[in-house]
A and B are shown apart, each in its own frame.
Chain A
Amino acid sequence: MQRNVLEYLEQIVKRLPDKTAYADEKTEMTFAQVSQNALAIGTFLREKGLYKQPVVVFMGKHPRTIAAFFGVVYAGCYYVPIDEEMPSHRIELIFKSLDPGAVICDSLTAAALGKFGYQGQSYLYDEMICTPVREDLISRVRDRQIDTDPIYIVFTSGSTGIPKGVVACHRSVIDYIENLSSVLGFNEDTVFGNQTPLYVDACLKELYPTLKFGATTYFIPKELFMFPLKLVEYLNDKKINTICWVVSALTIISSFGTFDRLVPKYLKTIAFGSEVFPIKQFNLWRKNLPEARFVNLYGPTEATGMSCYYEVDREFEPGEMIPIGRPFSNTDILLLDENNREASFGEPGEICIRGTPLTLGYYKDFERTGEAFVQNPLNNCYPELIYRTGDIGRYNERGELEFISRKDNQIKHMGHRIELGEIELAANMHMKVNTACCIFDGSSKKIVLYYVGDAAKAEVAEFLKEKLPRYMVPNVIESLDMMPLTANGKIDRVFLKEKYSKR
């Protein structure tokens, strides 16, 4: 049985040493190069005495960064990806809470490191990879490594403003990668076009299956996501057949009429998630790529990556919702109501996750770990953890799981308990609304609806008055050109709240 993610690398390097594993505009690395660099970095870190501690990888988005990740794992440490794109205040907080053993930089990021108040050791990737590999050091680490040892820490934003470091282990990542791969059907011919940043868990979808199958991942230059036609030209040029993107990256292509000029003709598998896919845009994709598979994914960072999937198997009309379907194999979903009992069929409940893909919790934060990773309330016989996502879901009449809203989107307004998600759902049913997000401004006690779409404000207001009880109709309706998104591709509610309170 596989116990270590590095076994993926060790097996593929024997079979396909000279195939390109990861590539960007300027560089590409074969599996042999990834392996050699990772082993050298692992040796270097061990020689410096680093073991079982976080090592920050502060590098640009290129293939060498991935080799650095695996190098950290070879040393028995855990990698923490940081990117210059992240707000510097956030990076400072991360350094403070981590107290990392070392930082790995590339020549471009080394200079920027000083501004985050980090005083510890930092090493240059290009120098580290010159270290002669010492098999004895590497295998001594491996002998003692178990599958519940951490591999990485990625930071997600906490509601209090202090980021939380989610710690994932070999076991959870292997389980996730195996089940994701069987749902999406990756193989040796898979050519990934990566869109998501390397400092979020989303990139696991490409990084590890590339090793498992001997596939190839291209890191798509970020600026192409501004120029839809160039983006599709790139996809065709690299013969990319598999993408796992946030919805807004997909709609950039469909909403500018790109398909009338050019279709990404090699695409066979399109996975998306983190946001509601506006049906009008989704149908454009499906119409232009009738042979492709479309899969909606759902899951929190705390359960390693994605936990649920739905492969689109029928037509959707504007106003309908693409479900999140059902859990991956070896993952179980509980929908719990306010009394910690299973919600009855069709009733909303908090989505709770049970199973091997649960991560270990939040780094150096037992308190917040204990709030979210809790004893399964349906089991009072032996210890069993579930993760409470804080997301509200329900089963539709077909028995498919649907995502409704965040739990903390529940507000009390004029004596009524209101799920802001229900207002969003109603607004999304309007033909000319693409995306809607509802916030509650506590100081003015107003429900504010932001939406993107061609509908006039008055139209939306009138429509909502028909659909919703009077007390749920937003007090303020504002139209936006585009929804602000977080790094994870979710609607940035904090930004919208601030935008409203600063108006």
Chain B
Amino acid sequence: MEQLLEILHGLHPEVDFETNDRLIDDRIIDSFDIVSLVSDISETFDVTIPVEEIIPENFNSAKALYSLIERLIEEE
């Protein structure tokens, strides 16, 4: 989780990612961020996020995103 928060803070240092659960709904994250996130996550955690997981529900909070990563690691 620490590593993920670091990646997210790199994109938007002003956002409190530990509590914010409306990253997509409130348009905090844009398409530019999604592309960078998907690539940073694959580098840091050595998992590929398949396109069917690139959906709002998985990107609305750091927590949701982290549980996606955990799930993907387990599946590998």
Interface residues of A (CB under 8 A from B): 223, 225-230, 252, 255-258, 260-261, 481-482, 484
Question: Which residues between 23 and 37 of chain B lie within 8 Å of chain A, taking CB atoms?
Answer: 24, 27, 29-32, 34-36
Contacts of B30 in A (CB 8 A): 226
Q: Is the interface of B mostly helix, strand, loop or mixed?
A: helix
* Docked complex Cα distance between A178 and B44 (Å): 51
Contacts of A258 in B (CB 8 A): 51
* Docked complex Cα distance between A258 and B54 (Å): 10
How many chain B residues touch A (CB < 8 A): the figure is 19
B38 at the interface (CB under 8 A from A): yes
Known contacts A223-B27, A481-B40: A228-B54 contact under CB 8 Å: yes
Select from chain A the residue with minimum beta-carbon distance to B39: A481
In the bound complex, do residue B50 and residue A257 qualify as a contact, i.e. CB atoms below 8 Å apart?
Answer: yes
* Docked complex Cα distance between A88 and B47 (Å): 39
Known contacts A481-B39, A482-B36: A226-B51 contact under CB 8 Å: no
Select from chain A the residue with minimum beta-carbon distance to B48: A257
Contacts of A223 in B (CB 8 A): 24, 27, 56
* Docked complex Cα distance between A375 and B50 (Å): 55
Select from chain A the residue with minimum beta-carbon distance to B33: A226
In the bound complex, do residue A481 and residue B31 qualify as a contact, i.e. CB atoms below 8 Å apart?
Answer: no
How many residue pairs between the two chains, A and B, have CB atoms under 8 Å in the bound complex?
43
Residue pairs across A and B with Cβ atoms less than 8 A apart, 18 shown, are: A223-B24, A226-B24, A226-B29, A226-B30, A226-B56, A226-B59, A227-B55, A229-B51, A229-B52, A229-B54, A256-B38, A256-B51, A256-B54, A257-B51, A258-B51, A261-B52, A481-B39, A482-B36
Contacts of A226 in B (CB 8 A): 24, 29-31, 34, 54, 56, 59
In the bound complex, do residue A229 and residue B55 qualify as a contact, i.e. CB atoms below 8 Å apart?
Answer: yes
> Which 9 A-B residue pairings sit nearest by Cβ, starting from the closest?
A481-B36, A226-B31, A256-B51, A226-B34, A482-B35, A225-B31, A481-B39, A258-B51, A229-B51
* Docked complex Cα distance between A261 and B27 (Å): 26
In the bound complex, do residue A252 and residue B35 qualify as a contact, i.e. CB atoms below 8 Å apart?
Answer: yes
Given A223-B56, A229-B55, A481-B39, 12 more pairs with CB closer than 8 A = A223-B24, A223-B27, A227-B54, A227-B56, A229-B51, A229-B52, A256-B54, A261-B51, A481-B40, A482-B32, A482-B36, A484-B32
How distant is A297 from chain B, measured CB to nearest CB, in Å? 22
Contacts of B38 in A (CB 8 A): 256
B42-76 vs A: 1/0 string, CB under 8 Å?
00000000111011100100000000000000000
Contacts of B34 in A (CB 8 A): 226-227
* Docked complex Cα distance between A231 and B34 (Å): 14
* Docked complex Cα distance between A28 and B53 (Å): 31
* Docked complex Cα distance between A255 and B48 (Å): 12
How distant is A278 from chain B, measured CB to nearest CB, in Å? 13
How distant is B51 from chain A, measured CB to nearest CB, in Å? 4
